[in-house]
């Protein structure tokens, strides 16, 4: 069994990769691409990985902008994946810092190969597009078998704090569409039935509902279609909505109440309502704390403070939650902006292009490399991670 390289060796390799890592990050940041249209990001990443000795397959899993870049070891061993996200947000660009996630993931995997050229097992960088906007890229890839054989997966996420782990809510992605009857809004409005009125009443019903759901629930949406002209009673309107809570089971229970609210609004306004999913359900995130703490130990050894994280605090959602029910995963956070800087904001987008952000991405990439190298060379670490995974999920890893 090969010995794991020291943290100093891994750090030196990531330091040597820093110029290319930063160039890749800035190239992705400069050309933000929405879910499943990340062709430029895919090309930039796969070019670097191919040049670094990885065998690249793209597209994969029926997703045009996905890829798998593999470096096979000299002997049998674990299959460890480093996950790369690289989609942007509409109107905001890389306000979630996915440019850093992608570049850091590639740097981490390449550093392990350079520090441990005779490694056992398999190191993979898996490009997972469409995480934002309910795209569910990871879920689509998992359903297509792309994660078959993976023993553990790692990634990091930029933020305003450094945390070894953070909660991730389950989330349903819905479109609530109302259909009414059009009419002239001034000459004969009584002949019409306003789909927009149905949408408005539905949103008011959701506001009323908030008082009678657990404080962990998040109900939020936008009017995606409110009609075309002020002088026409809208025959069509739609609300795009996210329903979130701590577990997929509780989200499913909430959906019945959301559908009832839509039907009630439709009945009151003489319209009809239909509720459909705009993307698969994101499951809650089960952080593997054995691996998360190994990441945290490396970050602290590199001179950066990182907290354990509040698994009961406010949280967003990610399709990595679904992967966390299949095998051990980590999704730690690395501070790249001042505390209090909101995610999905212009301020976070600007922070994601700064030298400080790339300094912290270098730290995160080194810590990810530490976890990957240890998983490949230390059977006890993988065994402990699997044991925790089975205890928390009831699934044998």
**pLDDT attached to residue 301:** 98
Domains recognised in the chain with CATH numbers: 7-167+285-393 (3.40.630.10), 170-282 (3.30.70.360)
Report the pLDDT averaged over residues 17-24.
98
- Gyration radius from the chain CA atoms: 23
Q: Tens digits of per-residue pLDDT, 228-287?
A: 999 999 999 999 999 999 999 999 999 999 999 999 999 999 999 999 999 999 999 999
pLDDT 10s digits, 81-121:
999 999 999 999 999 999 999 999 999 999 999 999 999 99
Percent with pLDDT over 70 in the chain: 99
- Whether 372 has a pLDDT exceeding 90, the answer reads yes
**Element housing 344 (H / E):** none
pLDDT digits (tens, 9 = 90+) for 31-57: 999 999 999 999 999 999 999 999 999
Q: In whole angstroms, give the CA distance from residue 40 to residue 72.
A: 26
Reply yes or no on whether the pLDDT at 1 is more than 70.
no
Classify 324 as helix, strand or coil.
coil
Write the pLDDT tens digit of every residue in 126-142: 999 999 988 999 999 99
49 to 42, 45, 55, 300, 381: CA distances (angstroms): 11, 6, 8, 28, 27
152-180: pLDDT as tens digits: 999 999 999 999 999 999 999 999 999 99
Return d(Cα 5, Cα 116) in angstroms, integer. Answer: 7
pLDDT in tens, 22-31: 999 999 999 9
pLDDT for 2 beyond 90? no
pLDDT for 176-185, tens place per residue? 999 999 999 9
* pLDDT higher than 80, residue 312: no
Asked if the model's pLDDT at residue 60 lies above 90, the reply is yes
**pLDDT tens by residue, 71-87:** 999 999 999 999 999 99
């Amino acid at each position: 069994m090969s010995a794991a390289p020291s943290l100093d060796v891994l750090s030196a390799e990531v330091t040597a990769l820093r110029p290319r890592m930063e160039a890749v990050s800035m190239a992705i940041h400069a050309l933000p691409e929405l879910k499943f249209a990340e062709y430029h990001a895919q090309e930039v990443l796969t070019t670097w990985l191919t040049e670094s000795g990885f065998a690249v397959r793209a597209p994969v899993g029926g997703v045009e902008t996905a890829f798998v870049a593999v470096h096979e070891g000299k002997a049998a061993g674990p299959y460890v994946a480093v996950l790369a996200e690289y989609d942007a947000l509409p109107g905001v660009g890389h306000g979630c810092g996915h440019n850093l996630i992608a570049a850091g993931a590639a740097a981490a995997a390449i550093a392990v190969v350079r520090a441990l050229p005779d490694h056992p097992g398999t190191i993979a960088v898996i490009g997972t597009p469409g995480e934002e906007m309910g795209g569910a890229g990871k879920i689509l890839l998992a359903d297509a078998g792309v994660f078959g054989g993976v023993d553990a997966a790692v990634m990091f996420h930029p933020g305003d704090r450094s945390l070894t782990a953070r909660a991730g809510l389950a989330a349903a992605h819905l479109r609530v569409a109302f259909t009414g009857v059009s009419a002239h809004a001034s000459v004969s409005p009584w002949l019409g039935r306003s789909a927009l009125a149905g949408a408005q009443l539905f949103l008011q019903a959701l506001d009323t509902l908030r008082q009678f759901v657990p404080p962990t629930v998040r109900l939020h949406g936008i009017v995606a279609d409110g009609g075309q002209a002020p002088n026409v009673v809208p025959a069509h309107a739609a609300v795009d909505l996210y329903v979130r809570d701590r577990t997929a089971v509780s989200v499913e229970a909430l959906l019945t109440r959301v559908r009832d609210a839509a039907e009630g609004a439709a009945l009151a306004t003489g319209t009809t309502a239909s509720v459909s999913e705009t993307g698969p359900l994101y499951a809650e995130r089960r952080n593997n704390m054995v691996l998360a703490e190994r990441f945290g130990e490396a970050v602290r050894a590199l001179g950066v403070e990182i907290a354990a994280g509040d698994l009961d605090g406010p949280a967003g959602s990610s399709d990595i939650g679904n992967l966390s029910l299949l095998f051990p995963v980590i999704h730690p956070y690395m501070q790249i902006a001042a505390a209090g800087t909101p995610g999905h904001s212009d301020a976070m987008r600007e922070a994601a292009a700064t030298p400080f952000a790339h300094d912290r991405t270098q730290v995160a990439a080194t810590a990810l490399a530490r976890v990957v190298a240890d998983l490949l060379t230390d059977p006890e670490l993988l065994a402990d991670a699997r044991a925790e995974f089975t205890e928390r999920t009831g699934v044998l890893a």
